[in-house]
Structure 1
C-alpha cells in the first residue's frame, strides 16, 4: 500500500472516529453525565471510574458534593477516552501532512488547534459546572472538528478523481452546467444558516430548553408575548452549577421558539439549494440534501411529540451534523470541483481540435 493511499485511508478512519466522539458526547450530555466525574482529566482522582467500595468511599470523601454514580461516570470517561484517541489521530494526520510535499497543511494544522482547544473546553465544562456558553462551545468544537475532517477527506477524494481525469479516464459522467453567482451565494447562505441553526440547537440543549414547548408548529404558549432577548446573553450570572438550567420559563420558550423558526428558514434555503443542485450537479446530490433535511425534520418533530427520547435526541445531533457536511460538500463542488472539471473540459476540447 503506497503512502498516499495510507494517508487517505487514515483520514477516512479518523473521520468515522470523530463521528463516534460527537455521538458519545451527545449521549453523555443527554444522560446528564457531563458532571459524572467532578474532576478532569481523571475521575475522582483516578484514571478510571471508582468501582470498589474502598474507592467509592475515598472518592465521596474527596468530593463530598458529588456522590459517585457509576453509570454516569462511565459515560463521561468513555467519552474522554475516545476523544483522547481522536486527538492522537489528528496529531498523526498533522505530522503526516508535513512528511510529503504537496499534501494539505492548513486544514490539518487547524484541526490540531481545534482539538487542543476542545480539550480545554472539555475541562472547562467540568470545572465551570456546565456553564451554557462552554457547553455550546464544546458542541460547536466537535462539529467543527468533524467538518474539517470532512473537508480534508473530500479533498483527498476529489484530488484522486482529478488525477484519474487527467489520465483521460473517469468512472462516471458529470454535468458541466455553468454556475452563476446566485447559486454560489445560495450555497454559502445555506451553509451559514445551517451553522447558525446548529448553534441555536446547542444553546437550546445547554439551557435545557428542548422540552419547554411540547406542541407544534412553534409553541403552545404565547411565545411572541413572552419573547425575551436576554435569553441569548452569552454571559449569565454566576451559579454554583448550571445543570438543569438557570434561565426562567419565558427565556427558555424564547430559545426554543427561535430554534424552531430557524428550522423553517433553514428548510427553505436547503430546498432552494437542492433545486439548484439538481440542475448543476445531478439528482443524487439533490436527493441527498432533501433526504437529510426530511430525516432531520422528522427527528425534530419526534423530539417534541415524544418529549426528547434519548436515541432520537442523539440522532438529531448527528442529523444536523450530516446536513452540515452535505452543504459543505456542495460548496466544495461548486467552488472547487466544478472549476477543475471546466479546466479539464477545455483541455479535452483543445486536444480534440488539435487532433482534428
Structure 2
C-alpha cells in the first residue's frame, strides 16, 4: 500500500503514539546509540534546550547511549558531525534538530541506509527523500493560541508584539494563532510583528522588543531560537511575556503569563523504542496537545484569573480533539481572504505547511 504525504501526516502520529509509554515502562531491548545535534547551546532557555532536555530523558533508559554536539552550524559541518557519530560512536538513530539540517540529512542518509535520521520540522516526501530519513514536529500553534488568550486578558493597550526570525509557514502559523487567541478575547486587539532575519540575533531581538515597547505594546511573545533576550528585555520595560520553546518564567517571574513549550520526550521516546525493537521508521510524525507533543507552561501569579479559566476551557476542547484554530471567514492584514466562510483547515492540512499559503500577510496583524 502506498501512502501519500497527507496520509503520512496522519499515520505518523499514530505510529509514534503506539509507542508512547511512561519512561519507566520502557522495555529493555538491544543496545542502541543515539546521536543529537543542536544548532545552538543546550542551555539557551529556548529551542535547543527543549531538545536537550528530552534527550537527557533518554539517557536513563535501559540499553541507551547518547552522544551530543551543540553549536553545529547549518553547513556541511552537520554532515561531518553526523558521520563522526556513526563511524566513531556507532549511532543508529540521530536527532537532526535544526530546520536547516534537513538537506544535509537527506544527502548523508543514502551512505548509511541502516541509520535512522529523524529531522525536526522538515517535510519528508515519499518517492523523493530517502526512506531512512523522517520528519517530526508538533502543533505548537495550539499553545500559541492559548498564549494569545492569556495576552488578550492581560493587555491594556490592545497592542501585542511578536518578534520572529523568518516568515516561514511554521512561524506564520504561530503568529496567526497567537493573534486569533487574543482576538477571541477582544476583536480590537492587534499584533505588531517584527522579523529579525535569522533564528539567533540577540541584538536585533532586544532592539525589536524595545521598539515594540516604545509603540505601546504591553504583551510580547516570539519565535526565535532563544527567547532569553526578549524575556529579559521585556521584563526591564515592564512588558508582560508569553514564553516559547521552554519555560522562561525564572527570567521574568513577575511578568511571565504562561508559555508554549515543546514536549519532545514524547517523540524521542517513541523513535528510540522503534529503533530498539526494529519497528518501521515513521517518516512523518506530527502531534499536538492531545498527543503529548506540546504543553503549556504553568500559570504564574501574573496570569489573570479570567485568562486561566478561558485557557482551561479551550485547552480541554483541544485535548478532546474538538477545537480547530483555522476556520473561515478569515482575512489577512492586507484584507485578502485566506480562509473562506464554511472552511476549516485541520492541523494535518498541507496548506498550513506550504510556503505559498499565508505568506503575503498575517491574520489580524500589522508590521512594526
**Both proteins in one fold, TM over 0.5:** no
Structure ranking higher in helix proportion = 1
With structure 2 as the length reference, what TM-score do the two structures score? 0.25
Higher strand share: 2
